[in-house]
């Protein structure tokens, strides 16, 4: 049976957000608006996070700084994407290009997760105990931990890194694509005085190979990831 608007509204009104009940692992990336906003010792990273899946809660995409530990939140950067507050459809497949400041270093994709109380380990999925209208149940969330061979990007102090487009696909994987020129043009002008850092390194298995389709809540309701 398809989930109707009234049922969805009741769920939203009567149940707390999972993000309110769970601590967010990692450190949320800090946005910057222009080159002059970047602190000394930091570089700017231009990135887009998208999702083909309907996001019932905030998606976190996690990158580990080289030399750091996944158990130390200061070493793990979290980029986020969520549904629009007034959106009843999937509005997360559209581009959302943003700039952030990060400490200099090399960052590797280590995991993605929705409502996860911790960063998933390699090939691990996130299971959450949830008290719904039908009682307590264990549900799986879109999530996966990645091995050592994964996308990386370099951040140089005083430089700008164009990291690209990272997309959560219906395959429950983060895949990468280049950002269209028109999507980064406005951001590029605001950081034009900063030299470019090296291009990201993207293993072939992470490059987007298939077309994308925005999935609905109906598509993914009670799905096992």
How big is the CA angle at 175 (ends 152 and 28), to the nearest 5 degrees? 60
Instruction: Find out whether 155 and 104 touch, Cβ atoms under 8 Å.
Output: yes
- Is the pLDDT score of 2 beyond 90? no
Residue with tokens 């910057």: 32
pTM: 0.87
Picking from 170, 161, 172, 165, the residue whose alpha carbon sits closest to that of residue 207 is: 165
Q: Could you tell me the pLDDT band of residue 7, with boundaries at 50, 70 and 90?
A: very low
Q: Average pLDDT for residues 174-194, to the nearest whole number?
A: 96
Q: Kindly write down the DSSP assignment for every residue of 81-150, as one continuous string.
A: E---TT-SS---SS--EEEEEEESEEEEEEEEEES-SS---BT--EEEEEEETTEEEEEEESEEE--SSS
The percent of residues above 70 in pLDDT, for the chain, comes to 87
Q: Average pLDDT for residues 81-101, to the nearest whole number?
A: 88
């Amino acid at each position: 049976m398809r989930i109707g608007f009234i049922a969805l509204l009741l769920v939203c009104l009567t149940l707390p957000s999972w993000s309110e009940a769970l601590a967010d692992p990692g450190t949320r990336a800090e946005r910057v608006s222009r080159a002059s906003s970047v602190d000394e010792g930091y570089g700017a990273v231009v990135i887009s996070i998208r999702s083909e899946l309907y996001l019932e809660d905030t998606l976190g995409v996690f990158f580990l700084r080289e030399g750091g530990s996944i158990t130390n939140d200061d070493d793990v950067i979290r980029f986020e994407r969520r549904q629009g507050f007034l959106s009843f459809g999937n509005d997360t497949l559209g581009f959302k290009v943003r700039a952030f400041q990060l400490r200099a270093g090399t960052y590797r994709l280590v995991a993605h997760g929705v409502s996860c109380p911790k960063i998933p380990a390699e090939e691990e999925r996130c299971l959450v105990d949830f008290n719904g209208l039908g009682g307590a149940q264990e549900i799986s969330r879109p999530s996966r931990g990645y091995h050592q061979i994964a996308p990386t990007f370099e951040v140089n102090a005083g430089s700008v890194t164009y990291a690209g487009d990272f997309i959560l696909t219906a395959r429950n994987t983060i895949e990468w694509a280049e950002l269209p020129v028109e999507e980064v043009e406005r951001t590029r002008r605001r950081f034009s005085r900063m030299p470019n850092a090296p291009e990201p390194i993207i293993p072939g298995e992470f490059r987007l190979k298939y077309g994308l389709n925005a999935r609905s809540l109906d598509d993914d309701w009670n799905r096992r990831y």
